[in-house]
């Protein structure tokens, strides 16, 4: 079945540094990718939608200059958390699909801890 690989699985960084999270579709072309954030004991909140070759569309309240999303190829999207702060500590999950009615596949998530 279709696989979405997310890397790294966990990362610890110091406050003020930037962290990049990768989301790869391994056996299909991901026309659209979605990035979610999940705080402990809470639901998944959609951060942004990215289509290959286009600028990402951010949800209301999500700072586009802080959470940089790049979807430069049909198999790779990256989320960069710039100038990370402890409040950015969260579980980040990407999902990807091809086109039309193709199913949506989720990555395994990245646990970010900012100290």
The answer to whether 3 contacts other proteins (rule: CB under 8 A) is: no
Would you call 115 exposed, middle or buried from its count of C-beta atoms within 10 A (0-12, 13-18, 19+)?
A: exposed
| Closest by Cα among 30, 28, 24, 39 to 79 | 24
Phi-psi region of 100 (alpha: psi -120 to 50; beta: other; left: phi over 0): left
Q: Which 29-58 residues touch other proteins, going by CB under 8 A? A: 32, 34, 36, 41-46, 49, 51
Q: Around 49, how many Cα atoms within 13 Å sit in the side-chain half-sphere?
A: 8
Identified binder of other proteins from the candidate list 25, 58, 84, 109, rule CB under 8 A: 109
Which member of 19, 50, 107, 112 binds other proteins (CB under 8 A)?
107
Contact of 107 with 9, CB cutoff 8 Å: no
The reply to whether 100 sits near other proteins by the rule CB under 8 A is yes
Residues 56-95 close enough to bind other proteins by CB under 8 A: 93, 95
In the complex, least distance from residue 84 CB atom to other proteins, rounded to whole angstroms: 20
The binding site for other proteins (CB under 8 A) comprises 6, 32, 34, 36, 41-46, 49, 51, 93, 95, 99-101, 103-104, 106-109, 111
């Amino acid at each position: 079945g279709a696989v979405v690989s997310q890397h790294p699985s966990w990362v610890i960084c110091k406050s003020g540094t930037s962290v990049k999270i990768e989301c790869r579709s391994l056996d299909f072309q991901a026309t659209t990718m979605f990035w979610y954030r999940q705080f402990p004991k809470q639901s998944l909140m959609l951060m942004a939608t990215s289509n290959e070759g286009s600028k990402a569309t951010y949800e209301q309240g999500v700072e586009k200059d802080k959470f940089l999303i790049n979807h430069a190829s049909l198999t790779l999207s990256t989320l960069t958390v710039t100038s990370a702060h402890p409040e950015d500590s969260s579980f980040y999950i990407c999902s990807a699909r091809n086109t039309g009615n193709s199913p949506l596949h989720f990555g395994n998530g990245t646990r970010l801890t900012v100290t």
